[in-house]
């Protein structure tokens, strides 16, 4: 089958902070509660929003990003999802036209109709004008409709709905209520597992949405089959052990899939709780929040010794962002695992943000950076990433360790990815 159709929508907003994640999760759950198979995606390289959407849908959430992931990767993932989905919902990033590429660019490229979420607090009929203007600004966009967030009452919601032109569907309203709001910290939302009542919040929001009007399905979208490709088994017979716990949690599901596609066997371990490393050919410490778990890192001397033993045995170790910080000598003055010369500090402002690409000996690989951490080190820079704006991140190599603030997207280059896990 070269094409397949499925209802699909991209959820965007006039700006960040309008409630896109809550709206997307509530709508996805409301459709799921009707017995529909809902597949969700996230625009951009975000880790945290997909965790919430996974809770809402009960299925893994993949990223769509023309810069880091690439067009063919997005086509393949949407086409695959449409094989079994009753509806596809994609959460945008920032405002609809913000960034390059923007959510609007992604919507146009993949033919996704757009629904806008608007914070309607303090707003009446202007709501309809903002929705209309946003969706008409780019003539190539297909308008789907609008969802109102933070409404004050049923009467307020009705007023907003009546302000819409006939061609925009009403996807319901969410009231201003702290009981359904999603808490945030310096890198964005809390991890889904940190919000004890997340299930209750998502379900409550879905019920509110369903009660605010008959929720339509978005328009049908035709997805084309991607270009045929074969993933080489460059890691056949290799076992890769991946850190995964409260401190190390920024892992793309696509990266796990791709390691398996390359032929690797995947295991998991916890640098916080485990006293030893699983037997493996290589180790990967992804990003996360090591700065929030410094006492456990500092006191886990057995894990420190195990990591040093793996390093001394010349086992390849990939350390991304928080993983690199945990392997340094200290974070905010607290001792860490001490495999990399240098010290890390959590700063008050962004230190890195955006899609980047870095050329390794086996080719260019897509990546992104999003951190408040700094790393002061005497280590030489092995490779320098390129960024559209600002300075690209450094990639360090120390013995068998490859370390950087970058988060790599493995499917962007199989040879480069495999090289990170091979001696």
Instruction: For residue range 17-53, list pLDDT tens digits in order.
Output: 999 999 999 999 999 999 999 999 999 999 989 999 9
Q: Is 82 exposed, middle or buried (0-12, 13-18, 19+ CB in 10 A)?
A: buried
Omega prior to 101 cis, within 30 of 0: yes
Helices (H), 182-321: 198-211, 253-261, 294-299, 301-312
Helix axes 103-110, 71-82, angle to 10 degrees: 60
Q: Which residues pair with 267 in a beta bridge?
A: 241
* The predicted structure's pLDDT at residue 48: 87
Model confidence band, residue 319 (pLDDT cutoffs 50, 70, 90): very high
* The predicted structure's pLDDT at residue 193: 61
Question: Taking a C-beta distance cutoff of 8 angstroms, is the pair 224, 78 a contact?
Answer: no
Proportion of the chain above pLDDT 70, given as a percent? 96
Helices (H), 283-351: 294-299, 301-312, 322-327
Contacts of 82 (CB under 8 A, 6+ apart): 4, 5, 6, 8, 88, 221, 223
To the query of whether residue 69 is one of the catalytic residues in this protein, the response is no
**pLDDT of 241 over the 90 cut:** yes
pLDDT digits (tens, 9 = 90+) for 79-102: 999 999 999 999 999 999 999 899
* The predicted structure's pLDDT at residue 1: 64
Question: Taking a C-beta distance cutoff of 8 angstroms, is the pair 87, 36 a contact?
Answer: yes
Judged by average pLDDT, the poorest of 114-128, 169-183, 222-236, 370-384 is 169-183
pLDDT digits (tens, 9 = 90+) for 126-177: 999 999 999 999 999 999 999 999 999 999 999 999 999 999 999 999 998 7
When computed from its CA atoms, the radius of gyration of the chain, rounded to whole angstroms, is: 22
Look over the chain and give the mean of its residue pLDDT values, rounded to a whole number. Answer: 94
* The predicted structure's pLDDT at residue 275: 97
pLDDT digits (tens, 9 = 90+) for 330-342: 999 999 999 999 9
* The predicted structure's pLDDT at residue 389: 79
Query: Which strand (E) or helix (H) includes residue 7?
Result: strand 3-12
Question: Annotated catalytic residue: which of 6, 69, 249, 321?
Answer: 321
Question: Taking a C-beta distance cutoff of 8 angstroms, is the pair 296, 335 a contact?
Answer: no
pLDDT digits (tens, 9 = 90+) for 48-72: 899 999 999 999 999 999 999 999 9
Q: How many angstroms separate the first and last alpha carbons of the chain?
A: 41
**pLDDT of 190 over the 60 cut:** no
C-alpha distances in Å from residue 367, one per residue of 65, 87, 98, 387: 11, 29, 19, 10
Contacts of 315 (CB under 8 A, 6+ apart): 280, 281, 282, 283, 400
d(CA 91, CA 86): 17
| Centroid of chain to Cα 5 | 25
* The predicted structure's pLDDT at residue 191: 54
**Which of the pair, 244 or 349, is modelled with greater confidence?**
244
* The predicted structure's pLDDT at residue 198: 85
> Domains of the chain by range and CATH?
3-224 (3.40.50.300), 239-419 (3.40.50.880)
d(CA 313, CA 401): 12
Judged by average pLDDT, the poorest of 26-30, 190-194, 321-325, 361-365 is 190-194
* The predicted structure's pLDDT at residue 194: 60
d(CA 220, CA 88): 10
Residues in the chain: 423
* The predicted structure's pLDDT at residue 353: 87
d(CA 271, CA 297): 7
d(CA 284, CA 237): 17
Pairing of strands 401-404, 394-398: antiparallel
- For the ranges 169-183, 220-234, 271-285, the maximum mean pLDDT occurs at 271-285
């Amino acid at each position: 089958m070269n094409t397949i159709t499925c209802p699909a929508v991209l959820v965007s907003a006039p700006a960040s902070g309008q409630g896109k994640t809550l709206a997307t999760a509530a709508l996805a759950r409301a459709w799921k509660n009707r017995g529909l198979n809902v597949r969700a995606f996230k625009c951009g390289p975000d880790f945290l929003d997909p965790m919430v959407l996974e809770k809402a849908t009960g299925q893994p959430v993949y990223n769509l990003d023309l810069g880091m992931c690439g067009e063919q990767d997005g086509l393949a993932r949407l086409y695959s999802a449409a094989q079994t989905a009753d509806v596809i919902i994609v959460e945008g990033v920032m405002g609809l036209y913000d960034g390059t590429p923007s959510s609007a660019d992604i919507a146009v490229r993949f033919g996704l109709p757009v629904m806008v979420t608007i914070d309607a607090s303090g707003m009446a009929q202007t709501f309809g004008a903002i929705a209309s203007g946003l969706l008409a600004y780019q003539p190539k966009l297909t308008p789907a409709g609008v969802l109102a967030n933070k409404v004050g009452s049923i009467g307020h919601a009705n007023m907003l709905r009546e302000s819409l032109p006939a061609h925009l569907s009403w996807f319901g309203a969410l009231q201003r209520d702290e009981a359904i709001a999603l808490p945030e910290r310096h890198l964005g939302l809390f991890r889904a597992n940190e919000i004890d009542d997340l299930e209750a919040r998502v379900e409550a929001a879905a019920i509110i949405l369903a009660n605010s009007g008959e929720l339509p399905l978005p328009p049908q979208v035709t997805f084309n089959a991607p270009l045929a490709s074969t993933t080489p088994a460059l890691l056949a017979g290799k076992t890769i052990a991946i850190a995964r716990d409260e401190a190390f949690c920024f892992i793309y599901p696509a990266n796990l899939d791709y390691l398996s596609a390359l032929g690797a066997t995947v295991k998991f371990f916890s640098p916080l709780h485990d006293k030893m490393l699983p037997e493996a050919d290589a180790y990967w410490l992804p990003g996360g929040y090591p700065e929030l778990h410094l006492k456990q890192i500092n006191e886990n001397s057995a894990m420190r010794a195990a990591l040093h033993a793996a390093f001394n045995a010349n086992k390849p170790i990939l350390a991304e962002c928080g993983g690199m910080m945990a392997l340094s000598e200290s974070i905010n003055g607290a001792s860490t695992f001490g495999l990399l010369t240098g010290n890390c500090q959590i700063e008050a402002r962004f230190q890195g943000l955006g899609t980047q690409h870095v050329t390794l000996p086996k080719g260019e690989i897509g990546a992104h950076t999003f951190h408040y951490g700094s790393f002061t080190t005497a280590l030489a820079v092995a490779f320098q990433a390129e960024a559209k704006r600002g300075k690209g991140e450094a990639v360090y190599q120390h013995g068998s360790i490859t370390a950087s603030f970058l988060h790599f997207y493995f499917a962007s280059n199989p040879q480069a990815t495999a090289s990170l896990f091979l001696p």
